[in-house]
Structure 1
Amino acid sequence: MFTHLSALVGFLIPLGSIIAPLIMWQVKKAESPFIDEQGKEALNFQITVLIAVIVCIILSFVLIGLLLLPIVGIGALVLTIIAGIKANEGVSYRYPMTLRLIS
């Protein structure tokens, strides 16, 4: 659960959405396969969100990025909270539309 929710630090600290879950995952992954799996899932999602934000910033030069950026931010917030709740219930959560870079 905390691996998912630690990503919310990114709303306060630049790149905190990747650094916080990475640290949590590295510290806790040996405790259980579930934590290892969910840590990878959280990191993959946050990397995907970072890529989407970079694309939105680039597209802001043609104004569409300015419309998409809040959607990406709100979507990331909602999905991160849902993932934290599901993980707290012991349910394995997979984020939709996520690049699986860490396996």
Structure 2
Amino acid sequence: MRQDNQLIVLTHLSQLLTFITGFGGLIIPLIIWSTQKDNVYKMDEQGKRIVNFQLSMLIYSLICIPLVFILIGIFGLIALCLLSFVYPIINAVRASHGETPRYPLSLNFIS
């Protein structure tokens, strides 16, 4: 198993593809994690955190969509958008320094 912090940082930052393409924020990290989890040290742990965070954000967004009609959903979607943009950047910096990243509001789908 090799140490590759650059690939881990790239995996965290690949979540931002959602803001560019609209759909890559879950697919690309999932592909990187599933293909490299046995080859890169700490990729399995951090990949699970990334995928759990992205799935959680998807579920929270689906919950907020019907709530838009009573205006609570708008604030929820704005908060989720900010979390989805800020935390991948923060955790990419943490991963580059060898620290363990933390994602708030992340449900544990893959353990």
Letter in structure 1 aligned against 2:57: V
Larger Rg: 2
Equivalent residue, structure 2, for 1:6: 14
Q: TM-score if structure 2 supplies the norm length? A: 0.85
Q: Give, in angstroms, the shift of residue 18 of structure 1.
A: 0.8
Do the aligned residues in 2 keep the contact of 1:34 with 1:92 (CA within 8 Å)? no
- Does the 8 Å CA contact 1:5/1:84 hold for their aligned counterparts? yes
Which of 90, 93, 96 aligns to 2:101? It is 93
2:72 is aligned with 1:64: yes
CA RMSD of aligned residues (A): 1.3
**Alpha-carbon separation, structure 2, partners of 1:71 and 1:96:** 12
Alignment of 1:13-92 (within 5 A): 13-92=21-100
- Percent identity over the alignment is 41
Write the deviation string for residues 9-33 of structure 1: whole angstroms up to 9, x where unpaired: 1112233111011011112211234
Unaligned runs of 5+ in 2: 1-8
Q: How many residues are aligned here?
A: 103
**Structure 1 residues without counterparts, runs of 5 or longer:** none
Deviation of residue 60 (structure 1)?
0.5
CA deviation after TM superposition for structure 1 residue 91, in Å: 1.1
- Aligned residue type for 1:69: L
